[in-house]
Structure 1
């Protein structure tokens, strides 16, 4: 059976890494509001009880999916796709050679899955800026999302900003890397200090064994899970701390990066109010 919330965790039958961005302290002494934005791993295996809890109790009305087109089509329809009140938005944070304009309008039974051999390699950015070559692989990956798909990072934030009433959930496959970057920027806009953003990111380590086992059960991710040990998948606090430090050095902070990418003060204020008021 699906259980209810445990602190910030939302315990579901079909996910391992779902939690609420509410309840985090802000620099001005406030706290983020629960029930506005959730973060999660893949939602494909939600149970009926999970769907009821998310939609009826939490009030979920939007899914922001950061996976690639290939991942979505290979995994197939999830149960939330059949809920009329829930809107799905797709913003891949990885370069794609081809994509469907609206992947959720494609019926998987009719789609021609013309996927490149070795497509899983796309889980790491294809290019690394020269000045980032000395960074750790995870830091390079996160900087790659910002450098190569900054457009979709911003569009994902816009979807969260202008979602309307109800909760949104942002997710990828594991809910730690792509999701971690988008959530870190969201929390920065809300005024959450860097150390609390880092702590939120690192919480996934608490469930990493179950998370890797879940992904290994899917043919889409099994090879990647089986060829690397659990430690290599475990998020480290220093990774997000380094990314935030680099944003501070290069852009004057996460808000400066957002401003330079077209997500200015007005939109930041709306997102802040969504997470704060």
Structure 2
């Protein structure tokens, strides 16, 4: 059967060494558009990629830009394979929340959502630059990631999707899909000395991706900033830059 323009492209085959990987395209926007498939991906850290899957990322999927939301020390201690580093442009845009999640001791969806709101407060420049990076069509497809692809990536991708006008339920559903991968992510990161102590100190609730967490985040984003576009405008993103983001990611 011939694929029509209304039929989303099939999802890329799953990676085994790049966890929590997915294409965020295919969802509808409020104005009747659809987020393009094959343009924006999200994942956990690519540091564990084996040679074959690194080749797939660079050559088969054609990733051109890697948006790394990890802190500078994290990124330095855990770089991706050389083939990825050489084949993909890196935009290092660290998201900081003012204090670590382990210090914040989140015990509920509301507390974890508040931690995500701290990214907006403390890392506005990185988030604004991320939007400008994703609006640069020659730099696409892009991969956005942190360590687990849950918190920093979850908040950042939700901000982008909300700014594009994606239905709230779809933004929440994309975030919640990470729950399918949390066991494997925890096992993978637990083998890295730099993460062992941090993971051991985190409360159990931190290893979750409940829909309620994203619901609270979006509610507070709307109440405190007037939504994603209002937040980004407050951080210096212009109407033209938001238009370029939509042109790059929405059909």
- TM-score normalised per structure 2: 0.86
Which SS does the other structure have where 1:54 is aligned? helix
Residue 3 of structure 2 aligns with which residue? none
Alignment of 1:235-246 (within 5 A): 235-246=209-220
8 Å Cα contact 1:209/1:230 also seen in 2: no
Q: 1:95 to 1:238 in 2, by over 3 A?
A: closer
CA distance in 1, matches of 2:151, 2:94: 12
Residue 92 of structure 1 aligns with which residue? 94
| Cα displacement string for residues 173-217 of structure 1 (whole angstroms, at most 9, x for unaligned residues) | 000111111111111222201111011011000111111111111
**Runs of 4+ with >6 A deviation:** none
More helix by share: 2
Indicate the RMSD between aligned Cα atoms, in angstroms.
2.5
Alignment of 1:99-114 (within 5 A): none
The Cα shift of 1:250 comes to 2.1
Uncovered stretches (5+) of structure 1, i.e. residues with no partner: 1-5, 97-121, 128-133
8 Å Cα contact 1:185/1:254 also seen in 2: yes
CA distance in 2, matches of 1:251, 1:260: 8
Residue 105 of structure 1 aligns with which residue? none
CA distance in 2, matches of 1:186, 1:31: 14
- Residue 20 in structure 1 maps to residue 23 in structure 2: yes
Count of residues in correspondence between the two structures: 240
8 Å Cα contact 2:20/2:43 also seen in 1: yes
8 Å Cα contact 1:95/1:125 also seen in 2: no
8 Å Cα contact 1:62/1:88 also seen in 2: yes
Which SS does the other structure have where 1:155 is aligned? helix
The Cα shift of 1:273 comes to 1.4
CA distance in 2, matches of 1:216, 1:10: 25
The Cα shift of 1:56 comes to 1.6
Residue number among 195, 218, 223 corresponding to 2:197 in the alignment: 223
- TM-score normalised per structure 1: 0.79
